[in-house]
Amino acid sequence: MHIAILTISDTRTIHSDTAGKTLQDMAQKSGHKVVQRTIVKDDIKTITSALQTWCADATIDAIITTGGTGVTARDVTPEAVKGIIDKEIPGFGEVFRMLSYQKIKTSALQSRALAGVAKRTLIFALPGSPSACKDAWSMILQHQLDINTKPCNLAEMLPRL
């Protein structure tokens, strides 16, 4: 799959973006091609614009965002994602928080991780910590973006989105 990675942060640079780098490394190790990776500020219009641009690019199959999914005033990634998706995939956030609970207990409720489909592009919004990105990739995305995962996966649905 062709994947774009969007880090949402007011402070990270491409050199200090450990969560985005973690996602890039894991995606590439799994055989995917990371076609774009960039950082934008915690601003709903900026996030929305980046997502819309990538969704309009027919070569991008999935977008993974990292950062901005908490509950502070600056955390607006879920609002940006919800503003452009055609369909939400509620099970993603539920499963992510269930898995997170096993590690961080009730702190998992602070995550507003979510996923959805915009046009024919899958979008996954993850927290900004490298640990959360590792967990989301290794326990969910690695399998759902692999056409060989049975009984079903999101990768095989791409042509029908």
Quick one: tokens of 27?
A: 């995606």
Residue with the two structure tokens 């692999």? 146
pLDDT band of residue 35 (cuts 50, 70, 90) is very high
Identify the pLDDT of residue 90. Answer: 97
- This prediction's pTM: 0.98
Percent of the chain with pLDDT over 90: 100
Contact call for residues 128 and 64 (beta carbons, < 8 A):
no
For the segment 42-46, the average pLDDT, to the nearest whole number, is 97
Look up residue 159 and give its DSSP letter. G
The whole-angstrom separation of Cα 119 and Cα 109 is 29
Q: What percentage of the chain exceeds 70 in pLDDT?
A: 100
Q: Please name each of the domains of the chain with its CATH number.
A: 2-160 (3.40.980.10)
- Mean pLDDT in residue range 32-49: 98
pLDDT value for 138? 98
For range 121-136, the mean pLDDT: 98
